[in-house]
Chain A
Amino acid sequence: MTTKFEVNGKSVSVDVEPRLTLADCLRYNLRLTGTHIGCEHGVCGACTVLVNGDAVRACLMLAVQAEGARVVTVEGLSNDADLTPLQKSFRKHHALQCGFCTPGFITTAHALLTEEPDCDADRVREVLSGNICRCTGYIAIVEAVLDARAAYKKEGAR
């Protein structure tokens, strides 16, 4: 089926089988391999992307269901000039080690901070409970997200 949607600001048109998930479509059809696929059944959060601004699991959505939607992947949350405030904060706090889960944490944290730049540590922990990280023990990730709040308060920043 031909499906058209927007990814990171660009219109795309893909010809996909209905059974293809949005996560696989992003990786294989659009070669946006920043979106990682961990569990393929909605448990790990590694494939989190933004659809019309909301953080969602790309493995629990069909590519054909993205018709007309505005999709942002982890690639869309970076630029070539400099690290973003959220990226800088993850680096500063050692909020990643192997990096497999990081795209899911970045997209989820970005959605949270965009909507709730005043969130407290409890809220950050609640939101991040849907993402699994086997390296860090989470404490550094929570600190990184809390530290990035200032940038989102200032500019609603990317």
Chain B
Amino acid sequence: MKLPAFEYACPATLKEAVALLASHDGEAKPIAGGQSLMPMMAFRVAQPSLLVDLRKLPDLNKIAIDKDGVRLGAMVRWRDIQDDKRLATAHPLLLGAIAHVAHYQIRNRGTVGGSVCHADPAAEMPGIAITCDAEMTVMGKGGQRVINAKDFFLGALTTALEPDEILTEVKLPAWPVTRRLGFQEFARRRGDFAMAGIALFYDPDAGGKVGNAHVGVIGVGDKQRRLAKAEAAINGNAVNDATIAKAAEAASAEVEPQDDIHASAAYRRALTGTMVERALKSAAS
């Protein structure tokens, strides 16, 4: 459908952008790449009175990498992540997950900030943010604040952002060279939303055991989340067939899927275990 009518502004500074958002009684929305917001407007799921285009704001399209981790500006596109050679070592889990985001043309416009603020339960970037304990920097009328991923995502398409706040940066903690990772998702068609996806990593300890396991799930239930019981099944053990089976079983039991038109709850529960199994096998290989 054609889009509903709205006003449009394209401010040159973050301060102006925040002031514009604050001036519309919560009915204004920022637009970055628009790859989620535009379809939502076409379906009338979103009908903002004002769109505040972020494309002229300076410095939001940078990827900064240092000893503390990877800082992704909110306007960084999927394409920019895939083109950044440094990320193969600086954050291989991010790079692996982003390969599954949508289709070629969407990756040329879609942004990190847009995906994180849209907070689709099946989207890869919010899943990576949760799995890696990312920190979101946001700017609003009251100034800047930093929100941990676990406090940022509140439910399907719902975040802790206030109507006048704009996400400026997503920071992923530093990635040690010895860390092992796996990312697996299953969709009927390449590039479509996952019916279940797993992002995980762990750090090898001395003596063949591993610790610091992080297991995140997307596409199952109403939000992206860590799976504490699956993590507990991995921590302190060697990643062998027995550990993998226990972790997969724990993950299947821990998720709370619902039936929908794409898959039944039972299918999603089983698929979650299979994804954990495949991700752990690829991490250990």
A residues apposed to B, CB below 8 Å = 1, 17-19, 21, 24, 40-42, 45, 48, 51, 54-57, 59-62, 64-65, 67, 108, 112, 125-130
Determine whether the beta carbon of A19 is less than 8 Å from that of B104: no
What does DSSP make chain A's interface, helix, strand, loop or mixed?
A: mixed
A41 contacts which chain B residues (CB < 8 A)? 38-39, 42-43
17 additional A-B residue pairs with CB within 8 Å, beyond A65-B53, A129-B190, A129-B191: A1-B8, A17-B5, A21-B38, A40-B1, A40-B42, A42-B38, A42-B39, A45-B103, A56-B105, A57-B109, A59-B38, A60-B34, A60-B35, A60-B39, A60-B109, A61-B34, A64-B53
Report Cα–Cα, A24/B42, bound state, in Å: 13
Contact with A57, one of B4, B55, B106, B191 (Cβ below 8 angstroms): B106
Instruction: Report if B84 contacts A (CB, 8 A).
Output: no
Expressed in whole angstroms, the minimum distance between the Cβ of B206 and any Cβ of chain A is: 40
Report Cα–Cα, A17/B103, bound state, in Å: 28
A130 contacts which chain B residues (CB < 8 A)? 102-106, 191
Instruction: Report if B7 contacts A (CB, 8 A).
Output: yes
Determine whether the beta carbon of A42 is less than 8 Å from that of B5: no
Report Cα–Cα, A94/B116, bound state, in Å: 42
A60-B109, A65-B34 known; A127-B104 Cβ under 8 A = yes
A67 contacts which chain B residues (CB < 8 A)? 10
Encode B33-62 as 1/0 by CB contact (under 8 A) with A. 011001100110000000101010000000
Encode B84-106 as 1/0 by CB contact (under 8 A) with A. 00000000000000000011111
Expressed in whole angstroms, the minimum distance between the Cβ of B178 and any Cβ of chain A is: 31
In the assembled complex, 17 residue pairs joining A and B whose CB atoms fall closer than 8 Å, in A order, are A1-B8, A24-B2, A41-B42, A41-B43, A45-B105, A48-B105, A54-B108, A54-B109, A55-B108, A57-B109, A59-B42, A60-B38, A61-B38, A62-B51, A64-B8, A112-B104, A126-B190
- In this complex, what residue of A is CB-closest to B79? A54
Determine whether the beta carbon of B109 is less than 8 Å from that of A56: yes
Report Cα–Cα, A152/B79, bound state, in Å: 22
Expressed in whole angstroms, the minimum distance between the Cβ of A18 and any Cβ of chain B is: 3
A18 contacts which chain B residues (CB < 8 A)? 5-8, 51
A127 contacts which chain B residues (CB < 8 A)? 104
- In this complex, what residue of A is CB-closest to B77? A54
- In this complex, what residue of B is CB-closest to A40? B42
Report Cα–Cα, A113/B42, bound state, in Å: 32
Determine whether the beta carbon of A19 is less than 8 Å from that of B190: no
Determine whether the beta carbon of A21 is less than 8 Å from that of B43: no
Q: Which of B89-131 contact A (CB under 8 A)?
A: 102-106, 108-109
B3 contacts which chain A residues (CB < 8 A)? 19, 21
Determine whether the beta carbon of B190 is less than 8 Å from that of A42: no
Determine whether the beta carbon of B35 is less than 8 Å from that of A42: yes
Determine whether the beta carbon of B6 is less than 8 Å from that of A129: no
Instruction: Report if B67 contacts A (CB, 8 A).
Output: no
Determine whether the beta carbon of B6 is less than 8 Å from that of A19: yes
Determine whether the beta carbon of A108 is less than 8 Å from that of B53: no
Contact with B105, one of A24, A62, A108 (Cβ below 8 angstroms): A108
A126-B190, A127-B104 known; A62-B34 Cβ under 8 A = yes
A60 contacts which chain B residues (CB < 8 A)? 34-35, 38-39, 106, 109
A128 contacts which chain B residues (CB < 8 A)? 104
A57 contacts which chain B residues (CB < 8 A)? 35, 105-106, 109
Expressed in whole angstroms, the minimum distance between the Cβ of B224 and any Cβ of chain A is: 22
Closest 10 CB pairs of A and B: A130-B103, A18-B8, A54-B108, A41-B39, A19-B3, A60-B38, A127-B104, A41-B42, A129-B190, A55-B105
Report Cα–Cα, A62/B7, bound state, in Å: 12
Report Cα–Cα, A129/B1, bound state, in Å: 23
- In this complex, what residue of A is CB-closest to B7? A18
Expressed in whole angstroms, the minimum distance between the Cβ of A58 and any Cβ of chain B is: 9
Expressed in whole angstroms, the minimum distance between the Cβ of A93 and any Cβ of chain B is: 20
